[in-house]
Amino acid sequence: MQRFQHYIDGEFLDGSAQFESLDPATGQPWALMPEARRDDVNRAVDAAARAFNAPEWADMTASQRGRLLMRLADLLAENAPRLAALETRDTGKIIRETSAQIAYVAEYYRYYAGLADKIEGAHLPIDKPDMEVWLRREPIGVVAAIVPWNSQLFLSAVKIGPALAAGCTVVLKASEEAPAPLLEFARIFDQAGFPKGVLNVITGFGAECGAVLTSHPKVAHVAFTGGPDTARHILRNSAENLASTSLELGGKSPFIVFGDADIDSAVNAQVSGIFAATGQSCVAGSRLIVQNSIRDAFLDALRRKAESAVIGPPDEMATEIGPLCTLRQREHAIGLIERSVEQGARLITGGRALDREGFYFPPTILDCSATPDAPCVTQEFFGPVLSVVGFDTEDEAVGIANATEFGLASGVFTRDLARAHRLIRRIRAGIVWVNTYRAVSPIAPFGGYGLSGHGREGGIAAALDYTTVKAVWLRTSEDPIPDPFVMR
């Protein structure tokens, strides 16, 4: 089996222990991963803290940081095919998706490379005579970046890129599920020429790794992508060090289709929105809210697309649906579906594990128009499962869309632009896609409301999350400061 190592203070090191990573296509072990425990975490954070204050990094100009990030982007683009193959092996995501996504991740580092010397302060028109006051934006300190296994190179780029552009240092915790791509990314980072300790990459489990990292006294900010339950633990842990947090927590995103929409386009977008990445996406359009006038025709077209999808080995270019990453996800999906059907949801297609090795699960559609409160409508699957609810009026559609504790993404399909603008204002979500879905860019911020978290990743907003503001007061008068004990 292949063996991977942590990257700490510029060196590749074994962990305090090891664990096996399973190939989702076969369910069999294929690699040994290093397991970080308390001593490993402390070593990584100490390295990041030293690097943050060392002149090699602290005295580097913003433009120099940008050039290093640009070098990293070039190396990432050169190594994208190798990283894509590794991600496919360890996560089960299909090669056609990992190849396209990782190639685009380099653009995030290029964006933040260009932004590094554009993080500006401000001059204040202060109300005191003989005073000049200005604001400096300075790096916040050591950042603990924690990412899940899905889209991990993208989800780490939207943390590492802005953090390093701002001048922070980072300890990146890869998920214990399928960490191979980020442990390999560390080797690419090592070639880019950054000072030792600026980025450290580890992996491990919650109590022995995650809890120690997020409560560490030298950590100033925690950037996390994952689920609300883990986020609650992080917030409790951060009470120890009073670290600031940015949390991107997934969702139960509404995908609203009106009767006047381009049906073929909306069907294709819905397929991409829920079945791409085998539904393992925080922005998955998992709630189809479709106008009853087109509901039957839309569902028929969608069913045919779902049933014709090519399910197969993730490393084959012809494959359209690969396995889920873990057996636990498949069992979770089956349990939610069974409970939803018991409560009256109607299974249109899929819903049962496939009779083959590995963690495969077919595209699944459930009609929940008669049971809009079924578990499949309210709970996140993180799998290729679509719940459908019909509506008649615009107000109904908005009500159904907002009937969730999440608020990350949403989609609206209509040719009526006035209606589209009304829904943009009324939908409670951090992203509203109109007549498209799953479009992303390093220029645009990404984040949500409610249980979808707080803070934003991507765009200028993300870089500012990794800075703190310092107010500087300069007295310009040559007159001595009056003696405060002499009454005048």
Q: How many CB atoms lie within 10 A of CB 207?
A: 11
Separation of alpha carbons 258 and 263, rounded Å? 9
Strands (E), 357-419: 364-367, 385-391, 411-413
Q: Are strands 17-23 and 28-35 parallel, antiparallel or unpaired?
A: antiparallel
Round to whole Å and give the CA distance between 158 and 162. Answer: 7
Measure the CA–CA gap between 130 and 179, rounded to whole angstroms: 57
Report, in angstroms and rounded to the nearest whole number, the Rg of the chain calculated over CA atoms: 24
The encoded tokens of residue 365 equal 């559609």
* Number of CB atoms found within 10 A of residue 2's CB: 13
DSSP string, 272-317: HHHHGGGG--TT---EEEEETTTHHHHHHHHHHHHHH--B--TTST
Helix (H) or strand (E) holding 132: strand 131-139
Residues 209 and 181: their CA atoms lie apart, in Å, by 19
The Cα 335–Cα 381 span in angstroms is 10
193, exposed or middle or buried, with CB in 10 Å at 0-12, 13-18, 19+?
Answer: exposed
CA distance 275 to 340: 20
Say whether 248 is catalytic.
yes
Residue type present at position 367? D
What is the C-alpha separation between 186 and 11, in angstroms, rounded?
A: 10
> With 0-12 CB in 10 A as exposed, 13-18 as middle and 19+ as buried, what is 442?
buried
- Say how far apart CA 452 and CA 454 lie, in whole Å: 7
End-to-end CA gap in the chain: 83
Rounded Cα–Cα distance for residues 223 and 140 (Å): 12
**Torsion on CA atoms 195, 197, 201, 206, rounded to nearest 10:** -160
- Determine which one of 87, 248, 380, 457 is catalytic: 248
Owner of token pair 């969608």: 302
Residues with catalytic function: 248
